[in-house]
Amino acid sequence: MKYKRILLKLSGESLQGDKSAGIDAKPLQQYAQEIKKAVEAGVQVAVVIGGGNIFRGAQAIGTAIDRVQGDYMGMLATVINSMALQSALEHIGVFTRLMSGIKMEQVCEPFIKRRAVRHLEKGRVVIFGAGIGSPYFTTDSAASLRAIEIEADVVLKGTRVDGVYTADPEKDINAERFTNISFEEVYSMGLNVMDMTAFTLCKENDLPIIVFDMNAEGNLLKIVKGEEVGTLISMS
- Number of Cβ within a 10 Å radius of residue 236: 6
Query: Quick one: what percent of the chain has pLDDT higher than 90?
Result: 86
CA distance 121 to 89: 18
Other CB atoms within a 10 A radius of the CB of residue 24 amount to 16
User: How many domains are there within the chain?
Assistant: 1
pLDDT tens sequence across 5-59: 999 999 999 999 888 889 999 999 999 999 999 999 999 999 999 999 998 766 6
Q: How far apart are CA 79 and CA 144, in angstroms?
A: 18
At 48 the three-state DSSP class reads strand
Classified as helix, coil or strand, 127 is: strand
**Taking a C-beta distance cutoff of 8 angstroms, is the pair 105, 82 a contact?**
no
Cβ neighbours of residue 40 closer than 8 Å, sequence gap 6 or more: none
For 91-133, the pLDDT digits (tens) are 999 999 999 999 999 999 999 999 999 999 999 999 999 999 9
Residue 171: per-residue pLDDT? 85
Domain that holds residue 168: 5-234
Mean pLDDT computed over every residue of the chain: 94
Q: How many CB atoms lie within 10 A of CB 130?
A: 27
169 compared with 101, residue with greater pLDDT: 101
Beta bridge partners of 129: 100
The CATH number of the domain holding residue 20 is 3.40.1160.10
List Cα–Cα distances, 92 to 23, 30, 32, 41, in angstroms: 18, 11, 8, 16
63: helix, strand or coil: coil
Helices (H), the chain: 25-40, 67-91, 113-121, 139-149, 183-189, 196-204, 219-225
Does the pLDDT at position 60 exceed 70? no
